[in-house]
Amino acid sequence: MTVAQATFPIDLGAYQYISLDPAVSTLTDEQRQALKSNIQLCRDAIVFFTATGAARGVGGHTGGPYDTVPEVMILDALFRGNPDKFVPVFFDEAGHRVATQYLLSALAGDLPAEQLMHYREAHQKLPGHPELGLTPGVKFSGGRLGHIWPFVNGVALANPGKTTFCLGSDGSQQEGNDAEAARLAVAQHLNVKLIIDDNDVTIAGHPSEYLPGFSVRQTLEGHGLKVLEGDGEDLDGLYARICEAISTPGPVALVNKRAMSVGIEGIEGTTHGHDVIPVDAAIRYLESRGQNAAVEMLKSIEKPKHGYTFLGSSDKVGSNRNVFGEAMVEVLGGMSERDRKDSVLVVDNDLEGSCGLTQIRKAYPEIFVSGGIMERGNLSAAAGFGMEKGKQGVYATFSAFLEMSISEITMARLNFANLLCHFSHAGIDDMADNTCHFGINNMFADNGLDDGHETRLYFPADANQMRACVKKVFGDPGLRFIFSTRSKVPMILDADGNEMFAGNYTFTPGKDEVIREGSAGYIVTFGDSLYRALDAVERLKQEGIEVGLINKPTLNVVDEDMMAKVGKAPFVLVTEAFNRRTGLGMRFGSWLLERGYTPKFAHIGTHEEGCGGLWEQYPHQGIDPSGIMKKVKELAS
């Protein structure tokens, strides 16, 4: 039986829709039993359906939603018992725990249980973070840590007389936003209750190790919140603390200690628990739970393949986000130990493995700071290190979070900081995490003035170009932003099939590059869009349309020679994965007009919310080869 025809293999009909009254802070045997059975049922369901994401290669998160099941079950019963007393929304600071929201939607009858087996799949409306309006039953959007508690404060202000809950985590509590939210909640005496999973695991490690001194409890107490700390797995204690929080007016935080993925063999207590559970571990867990139908279902799922062959680029692919780290290690290896220590500081934001920084930490731990999930403060710290001439601050996180740090970037510039930022996961490719994780507003980093300290934005197209770019710009002064995608990219080939950016190639900042000549008009693009546009160009040539292709790896500098060249062509099409409203295309048309060039002009880019899944995001936005070819034909006609 295929997943498409199958029923959900775990009987969610066994869920007991019990009610609880917070005025009674002890559980009867019957209530305790019902809660325990609901907890086990939901934990099994979460392991199973998140593992479908692992089986399909779309990833996901198991440990966080699995861990917080006890408190979610209690809140569900409380909401049912007193619907008017609460804002009945499971607001969650840690949006990656979205499996909780999807499971609740299924239990509430808003979503067929079968749908859960399509977790994170493209076009299935179950993306990696909750999106209001997309998934039936989902009641808020989340996904960026530290963004929901401040928002929930406002919800509480809009609902006087009710209690509003916010599920939190030791990861989200590291964000500066939460400190602000805590102060407002205390000052305004908001009836907000934080239910924080303090499992001492984030992505890159254990907060107790990389942020020694950080204590969720002491932090919140310092802000003036009442904090009730306890064992999240002690059901009676947890329930009693939730009741105490409800009966205490004003903001209260529950800090629930537990091991990550408690009870899952081989994963409990480890950082692996943060991500999606591997299929073999899920099978072992489900077998031990007697969930044999779920096991069979998992075994039957095949990883879909992306069968398209791109013309003009190699079969070989490179991971640019990792190549960034490798290239940095090479550059740093060329310095004396003393120079390196004196002049370079690398600051991570709990994403070192995702941004290619692990290589640097392993090679040169003495210049590496595991900064925790504090993008704004960490950017400023890296910039501050690079304030003196000859020093370099290096910083990395996901491109989506560049939006958080625009003000810090301005201050870094005004302080003449030398700062090299690597923003990985730029664009939309392979982003099952979906819209809140899209890295599409990167041009915001180019927010200086004409006479300001240098700011450069670079988006290398393949691994060869990334290596060349890092080596070239590492020692430059000013602010430099290097972008890479989550997905791997093939090598760009010249017309003879040779790798264009290999061998003796040197990267020249500010210079655009002709990838293919053409008489009908030019496509201008960069990054992971280049190989897709190249494929379109090759296919259009086969159809007799001779389109040229320009790579623009320096995004914010006008290459006058290239402007003169493309400006005289019949048309110019800018295609990009960046936001159509804020990307390169927005500027390129003005640059042409300012110089008196008036080719036919169009720009295509990301313009609507994502569809989940991986490579599917490109065709969804109409910026895949067929979308590009369609636009070229319109312009060429």
Ligand X SMILES: Cc1ncc(C[n+]2csc(CCOP(=O)(O)OP(=O)(O)O)c2C)c(N)n1
Minimum Å gap between C-beta 214 and ligand X is: 12
SS3 label, residue 338: helix
Looking at 104-174, which runs of residues are DSSP E strands? Answer: 163-169
Our finding on whether 238 is near ligand X (CB under 6 A) is no
- Work out which of 53, 130, 146, 325 binds ligand X, going by CB under 6 A: 146
Task: Name which position in 50, 163, 202, 442 contacts ligand X (CB under 6 A).
Answer: 202
Tell which positions 240-279 bind ligand X, by CB under 6 A: 274
Residue window 152-191: x/- pattern of binding to ligand X, with contact defined by CB under 6 A = -----------------xxxx-------------------
* d(C-alpha 487, C-alpha 556), whole Å: 23
Please tell me whether residue 610 binds ligand X under the rule CB under 6 A. Answer: no
Q: Which of 45, 54, 94, 327 binds ligand X (CB under 6 A)?
A: 94
CB 417 within 8 A of CB 387: yes
How far apart (Å, rounded) are the C-alpha atoms in residues 225 and 445? Answer: 36
Looking at the Cβ atoms of 203 and 520, the one nearer to ligand X is 203
Report the residue number whose CB is nearest to ligand X: 171
Closest by Cα among 52, 47, 45 to 261: 47
Question: Does the protein bind ligand X through residue 392 (CB under 6 A)?
Answer: no
In the complex with ligand X, the residue whose CB is nearer, 81 or 266, is 266
Q: Which of residues 300-359 bind ligand X (CB under 6 A)?
A: 350-351
Q: Residue 100 and residue 66: Cα distance in Å, rounded?
A: 8
Residue 201 interacts with ligand X (CB under 6 A): yes or no: yes
Q: Which residues, listed in sequence order, are joined to residue 483 by a DSSP beta bridge?
A: 423
Q: Which residues fall within 8 angstroms of residue 111, CB to CB, at 6 or more apart?
A: 102, 105, 135, 136, 137
Contact between 466 and ligand X by CB under 6 A: the answer reads: no
What is the Cα–Cα distance from 390 to 407, expressed in whole angstroms?
24
Given the complex with ligand X, which of 144 and 193 has the nearer CB atom?
144
**Helix, strand or coil for residue 74?**
helix
Q: Binding to ligand X (CB under 6 A): which residues in 486-525?
A: none
Name the minimum Å distance from CB 355 to ligand X.
11
For the chain, the C-alpha Rg in angstroms (whole number) is 26
If the CB atoms of residues 171 and 527 are measured against ligand X, the closer one turns out to be: 171
Binding segment toward ligand X, per CB under 6 A, in 18-26, 196-204, 300-308, 423-431:
196-204
Tokens of 14: 């066994």
- Burial of residue 390 (number of CB atoms within 10 Å: 0-12, 13-18, 19+): exposed
Angle (nearest 5°) at CA 151 between 147 and 155: 160
Q: For ligand X, what does the binding mask look like between residues 393 and 432, x meaning CB under 6 A?
A: --------x-------------------------------
Strand 313-318 to 489-492 pairing: antiparallel
Binds ligand X (CB under 6 A): choice among 6, 203, 514, 586: 203
Cα–Cα distance between 215 and 452 in angstroms, integer?
40
If one asks whether residue 96 binds ligand X (CB under 6 A), the answer comes out as yes
| Chain residues that interact with ligand X, rule: CB under 6 A | 63-64, 94, 96, 143-146, 169-172, 197, 199, 201-203, 274, 350-351, 373, 375, 401
